[in-house]
Amino acid sequence: AATESGADTAVDCGDPDGSGGDTGDIPNVAGAWTSSFAVAYWDDNCTAADFDQDTEDWIGAFTVTGVFGSYYAEFHDFPDDRFEAGMDRRGGFTMTGEHVHEAGLIYANFSGLVYTDASERAGIDGAAFLGLDVDADAVIDCYARASWSANKSGL
C-alpha cells in the first residue's frame, strides 16, 4: 500500500493508523458507500417549498476518492457536486460541498466517525447539516439537521 511519511510514523493512505493500530483499526475510507439520511433524526427551521425530510433523495450512494490528506466525494446521481472531504487519524470524517436543489442552493456538510464494527463491516455514523440559500445571495435562509450513516459497499 502507498504510504505517507509523518514526523514519526508511516501512514497507510487508507487506514491512517495502520492495521491493528491504537484507534480501532480505521477502515480505508476510499471507495463506494451507501448512506441513510434522516432515519433517526430530522430538525429544520425551514418553510421553503420542496425542502423537507422527504425531498432530499439526492443523498444516497457516494464514492470517496483520493488518499489520506486529499479526499473528495461525489454522490452517484450528482457527479458534478464534488464535495471536499477529509479524515483525521482517529477516524473523524467530514465532507462539505454544494448541491443545486429545486428549493435553492444547499450548502451541505456530512460528518461522522469511520469505524469497523464487530461483523468487520466498515461504517460511518454521524450527522448532516443542510443550509438552504433560496435566493442566491450567498446567505443561508434556513437549515436542516439530520442523522446520517453510511456502510462501505461490497464488504
Q: How confident is the model at residue 49 (pLDDT cuts 50, 70, 90)?
A: confident
Question: Which amino acid makes up residue 34?
Answer: T
- Bridge partners (DSSP) listed for residue 85: 71, 95
* Residue 120: per-residue pLDDT: 87
Each residue of 104-120: pLDDT tens digit? 999 999 999 999 888 88
Dist. CA 94–CA 106, nearest whole Å: 16
- Three-state DSSP state, 119: coil
- pLDDT: which is higher, 112 or 60: 112
Q: Which three cell numbers stand for residue 37?
A: 439520511
Q: What angle do CA 89, 109, 115 make, to 5 degrees?
A: 35
69/36 Cα distance (integer angstroms): 25
Written as nine digits, the cell of 52 is 423537507
Full DSSP string of 22-43 = TTS-PPP--EEEEEEEEEEEEE
- Position 138 scores a pLDDT of 93
Average pLDDT of span 47-66: 89
Contact assessment for residue 100 and residue 110, using Cβ atoms and an 8 Å cutoff: no
Dihedral sign for Cα atoms in the order 66, 75, 32, 28: positive
* CB atoms near residue 92 (< 10 Å): 14
